[in-house]
């Protein structure tokens, strides 16, 4: 039977750190509050456009799969922070990779976007519409942060992760999936003014329009329920018990959300992958980055039973039960890195501060 298998994986994190201590000098917060309330210690700020992060993560995933760019049929980029709304980030990535035979499009389900894309691409591969897809989750949400708003400024970071999905005869791939959405509470997590509904005069009057605003406790509550329920549904549909699960790879938004989701599933914390301390919430990129690190650290074995779960703006959520394939090591690796930068993190954020009004406190 034809299945869709993850055959390559890669990540790209920009090098410049924004630590909790850096944030103490920008907004009224402290390392202890951020660490205990979120689990985050530091995050990255990108010095390059989103499409550069996405393209390098994609190149690494293609190398791991042993796939040449010209053999890719589709480049899908899950993002809500493309370089431009038109054309898509995926088109830019297709060009940067030299994926000359590929179609390309973006997909926006915010932080759930990677799972929506993985489900879509796997469906296309398994049904024979395409043979090989490059699925990238990438975001530079710090571009939309008002660093004078401590309720959002501490949570997000920039990054990209990617997987290659290919047709296979192996008995592996997605076994069950769920996607969900509740647009009736869209305003509890949104970047109002970032799209076409905003009047030109409003943008002139109020520079704060595009910043992310959020009702944190409400998002928290709904995230735990949505990720827990969607995960339970895919575990049941896969015919697994909780004991069968080798690893839960959840969206990394807040370690307390991850812990509460695992408790809801009655899953031991040793079976949960957590790397939020290093990167914060990289939105659509958290799961492919986490999966890549889980593979690098030997936490995914041939045939491992994995559960992915995510939630994000929309509100949107998704979960996937997936049996990993027989190969868990990359076929090859590339040396390429992002161009170096001498800029400090405050240099990189200077334009953001000038626009939104945040910045180092006097
Ligand atoms: N530093 C210090 N204090 C902060 C703070 C910060 N960065 N952010 C908020 N606070 C304060 C609040 O002002 C409040 O103070 P008050 O009691 O004097 O009013 C207090 O901490 C508690 O705030 P609350 O919002 O209830 O905290 P919380 O425990 O819910 O944690 C979040 C806040 C944002 C960390 C948490 O709600 C969360 O993670 N929500 C989900 C957000 C998310 O994942 N979004 C992305 C989805 S993809």
- Residues 202, 162, single domain; the answer is no
Number of Cβ within 10 Å of residue 45's Cβ equals 23
pLDDT tens string 292-310? 999 999 999 999 999 999 9
Q: How far apart are CA 314 and CA 189, in angstroms?
A: 8
Question: For residue 120, what are the CA distances in angstroms to 75, 80, 114, 123, 281?
Answer: 12, 17, 10, 5, 23
**Domain shared by 96 and 58, yes or no:** yes
The angle subtended at Cα 262 by Cα 44 and Cα 38, nearest 5°, is 35
The CATH code of the domain that includes 263 is 3.40.47.10
- Provide the residue range defining the domain that includes 239: 175-323
Closest alpha carbon to 249 in 342, 150, 127, 118: 118
Query: Is 123 in a helix, a strand, or coil?
Result: helix
Q: Are residues 142 and 217 in the same domain?
A: no
| Residue 207 appears among annotated catalytic residues | no
- Is residue 209 pLDDT above 90, yes or no? no
Q: Are residues 148 and 46 in the same domain?
A: yes
Judge if 109 and 230 occupy the same domain: no
Asked if residue 88 is part of any domain, the answer here is: yes
Q: Do both 152 and 187 map to the same domain?
A: no
Residue 275 among the catalytic residues: no
How much distance in Å is there from the Cα of 216 to the middle of ligand 1?
6
Read off the pLDDT of each residue in 41-61 and give the average, rounded to a whole number: 98
**Is 90 within a domain?**
yes
Residue closest via CA to ligand 1's atom 26 equals: 217
Active-site residue, from 108, 251, 254, 352 = 251
Instruction: Give 220 Cα–ligand 1 centroid separation in angstroms.
Output: 10
Alpha-carbon distance of 306 to 308, in angstroms, equals: 7
Euclidean distance between CA atoms 149 and 245, whole angstroms = 39
Task: Classify residue 343: in a domain, yes or no.
Answer: no
- Going by C-beta distance under 8 Å and a sequence separation of 6 or more, which residues neighbour residue 175? 234, 237, 238, 321, 322, 323
153 and 250 share one domain: no
Does 149 share its domain with 17?
A: yes
Report pLDDT for 187: 94
Contacting residues for 64 by C-beta, under 8 A, at least 6 apart:
7, 8, 9, 10, 164, 330, 331, 332, 333
Rounded to 5 degrees, what angle do the CA atoms 93, 50, 278 make?
A: 125
Examine residue 149 and state whether it is found in any structural domain, yes or no: yes
Position 202 pLDDT exceeds 80:
no
137 and 228 share one domain: no
pLDDT at position 210 = 80
- Report residue 208's pLDDT band, with 50, 70 and 90 as the boundaries: low
Q: What is the dihedral of CA 57, 339, 146, 154, to 10 degrees?
A: 60
Q: Which of 136, 171, 206 is the last residue of a domain?
A: 171
Can you say whether the dihedral through the CA atoms of 111, 134, 105, 172 is positive or negative? negative
Q: Number of structural domains, the chain? A: 2
In this structure, how many other beta carbons lie within 10 angstroms of the beta carbon of residue 65? 27
Using CA atoms, how far apart are residues 319 and 229, in angstroms rounded to an integer?
A: 9
Which atom of ligand 1 lies closest to the CA of 153?
A: 7
Cα 301 to ligand 1 centre (Å)? 37
- Asked if residue 311 and residue 185 are part of one domain, the reply reads yes
SS3 assignment, position 203: helix
pLDDT digits (tens, 9 = 90+) for 94-125: 999 999 999 999 999 999 999 999 999 999 99
Per-residue model confidence (pLDDT) at position 204: 65
Q: CA 217, CA 280: separation in Å to the nearest integer?
A: 18
Rounded distance, CA 169 to CA 175, Å?
14
The terminus-to-terminus CA distance of the chain in angstroms comes to 65
Q: Is the pLDDT of residue 56 over 70?
A: yes
pLDDT exceeds cutoff 80 at 206: no
Give the residue whose CA is nearest to atom 9 of ligand 1: 151
99 and 237: one domain? no
Q: How confident is the model at residue 150 (pLDDT cuts 50, 70, 90)?
A: very high
Residue ending a domain, among 121, 147, 171, is: 171
Residues 22 and 85 in one domain: yes
Mean pLDDT of 340-359: 94
| 7, part of any domain | yes
């Amino acid at each position: 039977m034809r299945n869709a298998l993850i055959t390559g994986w890669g990540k790209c994190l920009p090098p410049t750190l924004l630590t909790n201590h850096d944030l103490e000098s920008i907004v009224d917060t402290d390392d202890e509050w951020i660490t205990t309330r979120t689990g985050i210690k530091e995050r990255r700020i990108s010095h390059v456009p989103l499409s550069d992060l996405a393209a390098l993560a994609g190149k690494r995933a293609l190398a791991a799969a042993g796939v040449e760019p010209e053999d890719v049929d589709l480049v899908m980029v899950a993002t809500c922070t493309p370089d431009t709304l038109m054309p898509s980030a995926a088109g830019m990535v297709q060009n940067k990779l030299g994926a000359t035979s590929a179609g390309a499009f973006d997909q926006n389900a915010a932080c759930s976007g990677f799972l929506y894309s993985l489900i879509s691409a796997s469906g296309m591969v398994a049904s024979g519409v395409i043979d090989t897809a490059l699925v990238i989750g990438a975001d530079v949400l710090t571009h939309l942060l008002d660093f004078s708003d401590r309720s959002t400024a501490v949570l997000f970071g920039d990054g990209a992760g990617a997987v290659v999905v290919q047709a296979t005869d192996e008995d592996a791939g997605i076994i069950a999936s769920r996607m969900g959405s509740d647009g009736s509470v869209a305003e509890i997590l949104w970047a109002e003014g970032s799209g076409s509904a905003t009047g030109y005069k409003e943008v002139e009057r109020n520079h704060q329009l595009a910043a992310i605003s959020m009702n944190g406790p409400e998002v928290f509550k709904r995230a735990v329920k949505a990720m827990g329920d969607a995960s339970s549904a895919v575990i049941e549909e896969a015919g697994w018990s909780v004991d069968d699960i080798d690893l839960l790879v959840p969206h990394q938004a807040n370690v307390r959300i991850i812990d509460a989701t695992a408790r809801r599933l009655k899953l031991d914390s040793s079976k949960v992958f957590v790397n939020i301390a290093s990167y914060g919430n990289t939105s659509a990129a958290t799961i492919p980055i986490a999966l890549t690190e889980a593979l690098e650290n030997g936490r995914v074995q041939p045939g491992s039973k994995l559960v992915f779960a995510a939630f994000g703006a929309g509100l949107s959520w998704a979960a996937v039960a997936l049996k990993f394939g027989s190969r868990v090591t990359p076929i090859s690796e590339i040396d390429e890195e992002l161009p170096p930068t001498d800029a400090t993190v405050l240099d990189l954020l200077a334009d953001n501060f000038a626009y939104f009004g945040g910045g180092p406190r006097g």
